[in-house]
Structure 1
Amino acid sequence: MGQISADAVLRYRDRSWWLGAFGVLEVLLGLFLAALIPLLLLAQAAVDDEARPSGYVLQGVLIYGLLGATFIWLGIGSFRCRRWARSLLLALAWNWLAAGATGLLIGGFLLPKLLESVPEGAKGIVTGVIGIFAAIFLGVPVVLIAFYRSDDVRATCEARDPGPSWVATVPVPVLMGSIWCGVAALGAVSMGFMSNSVLPFFGLLLSGAPGLAANLLLACAWGYSAVGLLRLRPAAWWLATSLLAGMTVSVAVTFSRVDLAEMYGLMGYGEQVIAQTQALGSSVLWWSALALVPVVGYFLWLRRYFVYCGGNRP
């Protein structure tokens, strides 16, 4: 990742106060996410939810716990004007925006069918909730991107943290890919220990011990890719891109042959949840497969960052 000129650093407007303010807000967001964990456990204890698969609450605890710790860590880094925090927050915000835009696009196509099963008086509430999600998944990352990509913010971090940064040589687009692979690794681990370890595999549904083994193998591959991308290793890019392409084909083939009710039943969901999901039809499955296509395209675009380092990277 290139450095700005020394002259630009001397002429920048100090944004350390704003970096501190954003850092405090990010720490508060992390604490809020962590506070959701006991609420989730209390809600589960109060409701005997047999419609959800085993490990459902554990997955929620894992997600909120990791997100909370991440925002607290990055918030502290922003407060201290650390260069690595700026780079990681920028990469995280871009991933956040991409995921939010994709989710809202898919939700927009599925919304008409979803509203058909919602009582008339609750449709306004559903619309309001969607608006809140749009603000969270589009508005917040846009603000973070606009702030952390500012030349003044970058120069402030360069001046306040002049020493070598562990992500200084990693372009932000590659950081985005590494974060994506890291999330995929965590997702594979969580799926391996919940929902009967169900994994779509080229027309089949792996479950039980085979599903657990396959999910853990995927987690290792994604984890290697995440670390390897940070080190700009071409082998990691090849592995990540191949995994994504294979996963896209696997999901498409499986969803063309497997009934949604069969998959959700194998995962341990109750009849009520299965009926609600079936009301959306097979489109939800195809959208899940199509959502991977732009991710594959993005990783193919990332190749430019690995062509020139193939000769001097292990």
Structure 2
Amino acid sequence: MTEIKEIREGEGMFEIELSKMDPKKNADSGQVFRWLKTDEGYFFMTKNQAALAVTDGDKAVIYTENEQDELIIKNYLDLDTDYDKVRNSIDKEDEYLVKAEEYSRGIRVLRQDPWETAVSYIISQNNNIPRIKNSVAALCKDFGKKRSFEVILKDGRAVKYEWNEFPGAAQLKGADFTKYGLGYRAPYMERFVEYALEGKFEQDYLNKLFSGRSSEVPVYEKAREDLIKIYGIGKKVADCICLYGLHMVYAFPVDTWIKKIQEKHYLGAFPVEKYPDCAGILQQYMFYYERSEASQK
């Protein structure tokens, strides 16, 4: 049996203020589908890495299994982005947006794996979050490499989770997607897997999308245009891939929640051009705030 390593700060463990990264808010934000509530906190997975977030007072303690994974998870959590700068960029006369940011503080637009994001959001079309999570979890269980995650917490407790990596195109080749609740989306996934196996969603393709800064509008528009050409990917899914998988923060996905917000507060259209460096982050705040408010009524 593998010995469980005690994780110390700087060796796979780090702390961050909840106002900077709140595990519960991120798990409930609607942008990710592999954050699981556990007795200890939130266990989350991205591609072939995993971590555990435990709330401790006004801080979140993030556990990874080693220093290398710690660096990957810090990047995944987008910790290099200054979210105070995002808050300060908000028009103070926009009362709704000010309230949305304040309520959602601690949410970060995570730097998710492009492939995992694309698959997840193809599945998400006209779907609800619990069903999306179930479909993604089932695909990972049946096709993803089995892994285990073991650490010792600050209070001395040893924890272990069994999990599965997100399967790649090769693993999903030939899968019967109708068995995973995909319905009419099954042909979309079949074609997308074929597309990826032809090398059209590999690193060279992604590098071309990043020929400029990810926040540059022309780069985003070209990426969106290319994605929409793929069978089964429409404007909203393309925007979700751009924002969550490629971290193009100008992208502003519009679903039924955002449509309602725009009609109620912005005369039908949010001023995206006013926030070229953070429109997608603000969209996440509005989405989370609106859904949370609705659930309390």
Which TM bucket (shorter chain)? 0.3 to 0.5
Name whichever structure is richer in strand by fraction: 2
Name whichever structure is richer in helix by fraction: 1
What TM-score comes out, normalization by structure 1 length?
0.34
User: Whose Rg is larger?
Assistant: 1
- Of structures 1 and 2, the one scoring higher in RCO (CA 8 A, sep 6+) is 1
What TM-score comes out, normalization by structure 2 length?
0.36
